Amino acid sequence: MAMISGMSGRKASGSSPTSPINADKAENEDAFLEEVAEEKPHVKPYFTKKILDMEVVEGSAARFDCKIEGYPDPEVMWFKDDQPVKESRHFQIDYDEEGNCSLTISEVCGDDDAKYTCKAVNSLGEATCTAELLVETMAKEGEGEGEEDEEEEE
C-alpha cells in the first residue's frame, strides 16, 4: 500500500487529533464560542459608580473616579464646563476593560475650578454624570510669604 504524507493506510477513526472529523469538531466549537460571545445582551451605558464633588488645595492633584457598564463597550469622553477635555500632562484619562474610568488633574490651579462631566456613549444610548471641583487657593498666605521673601533679599 502506498503511503501519502500525513496519512496511513488505515481508515480514519476520528481519534487522531489531526483527523478531519476532529478538525470539524474544533471549528464547530470555535463557532459556538463566537455565537456565545455575540449573544451578550446589548445594554445602553450606565454608571455603577458616579463621580463626586470634591474640594482640593491649589497645587495638589484631583481625581474623579467612576465605573461604567454597557455593551457594546461605550466610548468615554470628559468635559470641563461643557468643553471637551483633551488629554495632556495636566489632564490624564484612564479607562480599563472592567469599566473603571478616571480623570486625574495634576497640579490643580484656580482655572480648574469647574464642573466636570463624564459621558459614555454606545449605539444604544448615552449616560452622563457631573461633579464639581472646588479649588482652595492660598492667596492670603502666599501674599504674606512673598513679602517675607522680599524682606530677606534686602
Cα 134 to Cα 62: distance, rounded to the nearest angstrom? 10
Burial degree of 52 (CB within 10 A; 0-12, 13-18, 19+): exposed
Q: Is 59:108 a contact under the CB 8 Å cutoff?
A: yes
What was the pLDDT predicted at 38?
A: 61
Q: Identify the band that residue 138 occupies on the pLDDT scale cut at 50, 70 and 90.
A: confident
Q: Identify the band that residue 123 occupies on the pLDDT scale cut at 50, 70 and 90.
A: very high
Q: Over 80: is that where the pLDDT of 110 sits?
A: yes
Residue 153 zone, left/alpha/beta (φ > 0; ψ -120 to 50; rest): alpha
Cα–chain center distance at 28:
34
- Mean of per-residue pLDDT scores for the chain: 81
pLDDT digits (tens, 9 = 90+) for 3-46: 444 444 444 445 445 555 565 666 666 666 665 556 789 999 99
Cα 126 to Cα 121: distance, rounded to the nearest angstrom? 4
